[in-house]
């Protein structure tokens, strides 16, 4: 029988003396990550429609400047939450073979943050009445968005794989 416990201390999979595995989940971590994920999704939901077409972006350029700055700050928080709570470490506690994947994902954070930081700086320098500059920015943002979405998808897969290993898939 598998037991689950919400714990304010930390998250880890443990084996009890009776052989029952317990997965403890850090409640503060879950709340912070949930809030962060919702904020991040809302920001992206505001930015993406503005960057779908050159004229739309140009018409909303001051708003886009502010949103990109918010996105940079939100991603700084997002990456630091993932790393500070030991989320990568806990994901591979019982599956050392996943540690390589976890390290690759963790190593992507500085690169992704550098890209969004540069885009947030660049957006304020773009002349919104120059379609070629706006289009270039849109293309660069779209490239970042696709990389970030793939990164988040890979993190979720890592977590699910580690849970399968901890809990036993199909039990």
Whether residue 163 is contained in a domain is answered as: yes
pTM of the full predicted structure? 0.78
Looking at the 3D structure of the chain, how many domains does it have?
A: 1
DSSP state letter for 97: G
Residue 3 belongs to some domain of the structure: no
Sequence-distant contacts of 147-150: CB under 8 A, at least 24 apart = 147/112, 147/115, 148/75, 148/112, 148/116
Mean residue pLDDT of the chain comes to 81
Higher confidence at residue 162 or residue 149?
149
* pLDDT reported for residue 33: 78
Answer yes or no: is 20 within a domain.
Answer: no
Question: Domain of 110?
Answer: 31-167
Residue with tokens 């992704």, as numbered in its chain = 112
Report pLDDT for 95: 66
* pLDDT given for residue 76 in this prediction: 96
Q: Half-sphere exposure of residue 125, counting CA atoms within 13 Å on the CB side?
A: 7
User: Tens digit of pLDDT for each residue in 32-72?
Assistant: 878 888 999 999 999 999 999 999 999 999 999 999 999 99
Residue 76 lies in a domain: yes
- In this model, does residue 97 exceed pLDDT 60? yes
Residue among 25, 10, 23 nearest 166 (CA): 23
Q: Is 119 helix (H, G, I), strand (E, B) or coil?
A: helix
Residue 43 lies in a domain: yes
For range 124-138, the mean pLDDT: 97
1 in any annotated domain: no
Q: What percent of the chain has pLDDT over 90?
A: 53
Choose the weakest-confidence range: 22-26, 29-33, 44-48.
Answer: 22-26
pLDDT on residue 55: 97
Whether residue 26 lies inside any domain: the answer is no
Instruction: Indicate the pLDDT class of residue 91, thresholds 50, 70 and 90.
Output: low
Residue 6 has a pLDDT of 38
Residue 112 resides in a domain = yes
Burial class (CB in 10 A: 0-12, 13-18, 19+), 107: exposed
Instruction: Give the pLDDT of residue 136.
Output: 98
Helix (H) or strand (E) holding 112: helix 99-123
% helix, strand, coil for the chain, step of 5: 75, 10, 20
């Amino acid at each position: 029988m598998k037991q689950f416990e919400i714990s304010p201390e930390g998250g880890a999979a443990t084996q009890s003396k009776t052989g029952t595995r317990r997965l403890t989940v850090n409640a503060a971590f879950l709340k912070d990550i949930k809030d962060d994920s919702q904020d991040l999704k809302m920001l992206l939901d505001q930015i993406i429609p503005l960057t779908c077409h050159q004229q739309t972006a140009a018409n909303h350029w001051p708003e886009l400047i502010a949103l990109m700055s918010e996105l940079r700050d939100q991603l700084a928080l997002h990456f630091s939450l993932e790393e500070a709570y030991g989320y990568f470490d806990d994901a591979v506690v019982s599956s050392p073979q996943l540690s390589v994947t976890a390290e690759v994902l963790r190593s992507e954070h500085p690169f992704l943050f550098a890209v969004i930081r540069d885009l947030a700086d660049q957006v304020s320098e773009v002349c919104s009445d120059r379609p070629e500059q706006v289009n270039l920015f849109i293309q660069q943002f779209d490239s970042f968005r696709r990389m970030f979405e793939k990164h988040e998808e890979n993190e979720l897969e890592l977590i699910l794989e580690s849970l399968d290993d901890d809990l036993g898939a199909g039990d």
